[in-house]
Amino acid sequence: MMAMIRGWLHGRPHILNDDSTSARITGDKTLIGIHAQRLINDPVLGLAFEAIERDLTATWRNSALGHGAQREEAYRLVWALAQVRTKLNELLADKKMLEAEQKAKEARDERERERRAA
């Protein structure tokens, strides 16, 4: 996973294989949002993120004066971890927005049906 994050940070994003799961959810904002919510609420994933961030922050803070590259890499990885969290929240927000738009459309359609029936 760290190699994938490093590759992403250096402009070489990891490309997922087009397996049945990724093909099934591509473009389905509702399904993607459901999975994002599950990941956001997953306590094991949360613990892993916290442990990684804690370890990287300790590496960053405890690095020797001449180890700027080590500090920089630790900082970038902490930043990347924050970007993962942000992306999960964005994917969930997309789902919620889609649901709100659908609900508003249904309400408009219902009002239009009632208006026509009256």
64: helix, coil or strand? Answer: coil
Q: What average pLDDT does range 70-85 have in this prediction?
A: 94
Termini Cα distance of the chain? 61
Task: Please report where in the chains the tokens 């180890």 appear, as a residue.
Answer: 67
Cβ burial 12-46 (10 Å sphere, 16+ → b, else e): eeeeeeeeeeeeeeeeebeebbebbbebeeeeeee
Q: How far apart are CA 118 and CA 115, in angstroms?
A: 5
Question: Percent of the chain, pLDDT > 70?
Answer: 78
Q: For the chain, give every domain's residue range.
A: 2-117
pLDDT at 39 over 50: yes
0.75 surpassed by pTM: no
* Pair 30, 92: CB distance under 8 Å: no
- Determine contact, residues 48/56, Cβ cutoff 8 Å: no
